[in-house]
């Protein structure tokens, strides 16, 4: 049987907060890519693609965070890994990428990377303190 855990309120908060922030950012980027592109100095296609990628991710994280019967431990680990990769990719985009955002664009990319890194840290911290549910042990 899959390693299922009973999420603490802190882990549930970290997952549902991540889902809400990712969903809101995804909608903003997908719907407002044209306006944001000129404001941030980032390519419209990149912003729209990032927004569209965030929407199913947000739904998946919300599903994990809202499960009452327990959450698959590996799914929570995957969320942490995806968050770490997103934050790293954001920094690499600025350092090595083919984009040249303006100051506001750099601030936007770094700010969202820090928020994502914060969610990863909260999720990992909470995950380390969560025991498998009794249902999984049965």
Give the model's confidence band at 120: pLDDT under 50 very low, under 70 low, under 90 confident, else very high.
Answer: very high
**Closest to 94 (Cα-Cα) out of 105, 79, 82, 78:** 105
For residue 132, what pLDDT is reported?
52
Structure tokens at 108: 């936007």
For residue 43, what pLDDT is reported?
97
Give the containing element (helix H, strand E) for 72. strand 71-72
For residue 137, what pLDDT is reported?
44
pTM (global) more than 0.85:
yes
pLDDT in tens, 78-110: 999 999 999 999 999 999 988 999 999 999 999
Give the model's confidence band at 3: pLDDT under 50 very low, under 70 low, under 90 confident, else very high.
Answer: confident
For residue 121, what pLDDT is reported?
96
**Closest to 132 (Cα-Cα) out of 13, 3, 2, 1:** 3
Distance in Å from the first CA to the final CA of the chain: 9
DSSP letter, residue 3: -
For residue 136, what pLDDT is reported?
44
For residue 6, what pLDDT is reported?
81
Q: Where are the domains of the chain?
A: 7-131
Q: What is the mean pLDDT of residues 102-127?
A: 96
10 alpha-carbon distance from chain centroid: 16
Helix (H, G, I), strand (E, B) or coil at 98: coil
CA angle 30, 25, 79 (to 5 degrees): 110
pLDDT in tens, 38-82: 999 999 999 999 999 999 999 999 999 998 888 889 999 999 999
């Amino acid at each position: 049987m899959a390693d299922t855990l009973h999420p603490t309120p802190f882990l549930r908060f970290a997952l549902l907060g991540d889902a809400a922030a990712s969903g809101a950012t995804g909608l903003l980027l997908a719907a407002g890519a044209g306006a944001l592109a000129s404001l941030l100095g980032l390519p419209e296609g990149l912003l729209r693609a990032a927004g569209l990628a965030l929407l199913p991710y947000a739904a998946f994280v919300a599903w994990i965070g809202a499960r009452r019967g327990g959450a698959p431990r590996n799914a929570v680990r995957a969320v942490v890994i995806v968050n770490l990769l997103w934050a790293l990719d954001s920094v690499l985009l600025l350092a090595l990428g083919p984009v040249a955002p303006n100051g506001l664009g750099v601030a936007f990319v770094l700010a969202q990377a820090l928020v994502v890194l914060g969610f990863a840290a909260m999720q990992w911290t909470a995950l380390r303190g969560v025991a498998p549910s009794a249902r999984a042990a049965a």
